[in-house]
Every structure is written in C-alpha cells, then in structure tokens.
C-alpha cells in the first residue's frame, strides 16, 4: 500500500497494534526469563554437587547471556511503552531531536523509533553505541 493513501488514523491504529504486539511479546519473554532463572536457582542443571571450574564458567556464561537478553528486553519494553504514550499524547512519529516526521517505512520497521534515521545515526556515532539494539535502530 502506498504510504500516502492511508490516513493518519489508520497508520496510528496499525502502529499501535504493532506496539501492543511487541509489548505482549516482551512481557512474555521477561516472565519466561524470570521463571527459568527461578527454576535454575532451585535446581542447578549445569553444575554438579562438586562443580569443577569448567562447569561453573559454562553456567555463569549462560546466566550472563540470559541476563543480557533480559535487560535488552526490559529496555525495549520501556521504549515501546514510551512510544504508546506518545501515540496517546499525539506526539508519536516525530523525531525527538529535529521534530521532523519519521517516515512511515521506518516506523513500520521500528515502531518504537524516537528519532529519524539521520538523528539516530548522528547519535550513535556520538555515543559509539554498537550493541544489538543499535543495529535494530538503523532500520
């Protein structure tokens, strides 16, 4: 569909639905992560009764990966909730740095985007943010 042929209302409905779906997925992932962590703290799967250094480091590494995943999800969730608040407040879809419209194609690919691609790239150069989220934000 041509971006110009749909109304702002239709666009907002579509993006709101997308944001809500993302929020639900993140909430589910966070709940599952918390559950797994709880289960594992009660029943150590990767370490025996007398863990050797290798076992412990594998378990630690897996916990680190999971913790990184959880904090990434939590951060994304905050961005999604902020985007939903902007939708309700009527400020959604504008770049928070330069105030220009964020193109619909970008919003469809990254519905929680806070900046246009130019400002986002400038910001990432400034902060040298090379994490996985930075890649997603470059859409």
* 116 binds Zn ion per the rule CB under 5 A: yes
For Zn ion, the closer CB: 15 or 77: 15
* 98 binds Zn ion per the rule CB under 5 A: yes
* 40 binds Zn ion per the rule CB under 5 A: no
For Zn ion, the closer CB: 59 or 109: 109
CA distances from 129 to 64, 109, 114, 133, 134 (A): 20, 20, 16, 9, 6
CA distances from 131 to 46, 68, 101, 112 (A): 28, 11, 26, 17
When binding is defined by CB under 5 A, the residue of 80, 84, 95, 110 that contacts Zn ion is: 95
Establish how many alpha carbons lie within 13 A of residue 108's alpha carbon, considering only the half-sphere containing its beta carbon: 9
* 68 binds Zn ion per the rule CB under 5 A: no
Total residues contacting Zn ion by CB under 5 A comes to: 5
Q: Which two tokens stand for residue 50?
A: 């007398």
Q: What are the backbone dihedrals phi and psi of residue 117, each rounded to the nearest 5 degrees, phi first?
A: -65, -35
Q: How far is the CB of 106 from Zn ion (least distance, A)?
A: 11
Q: Which stretch in 11-19, 21-29, 83-91, 117-125 sits in contact with Zn ion by CB under 5 A?
A: 117-125
Evaluate whether 14 touches 111 at the Cβ level (below 8 Å): no
The residues that touch Zn ion, with contacts defined as CB under 5 A, are 95, 97-98, 116, 119
């Amino acid at each position: 569909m041509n971006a110009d042929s749909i109304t702002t209302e239709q666009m907002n409905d579509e993006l709101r639905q997308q944001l809500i779906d993302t929020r639900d997925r993140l909430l589910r992932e966070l709940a599952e992560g918390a559950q797994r962590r709880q289960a594992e703290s009660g029943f150590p799967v990767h370490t025996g009764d007398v863990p050797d250094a290798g076992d412990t480091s594998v378990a630690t590494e897996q916990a680190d990966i999971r913790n990184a995943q959880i904090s990434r999800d939590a951060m994304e969730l905050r961005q999604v909730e902020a985007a939903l608040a902007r939708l309700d407040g009527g400020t959604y879809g504008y770049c928070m740095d330069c105030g220009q419209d964020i193109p619909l194609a970008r919003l469809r690919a990254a519905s929680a985007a806070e900046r246009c691609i130019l400002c986002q790239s400038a910001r990432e150069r400034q902060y040298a943010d090379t994490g996985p989220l930075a890649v997603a934000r470059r859409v």
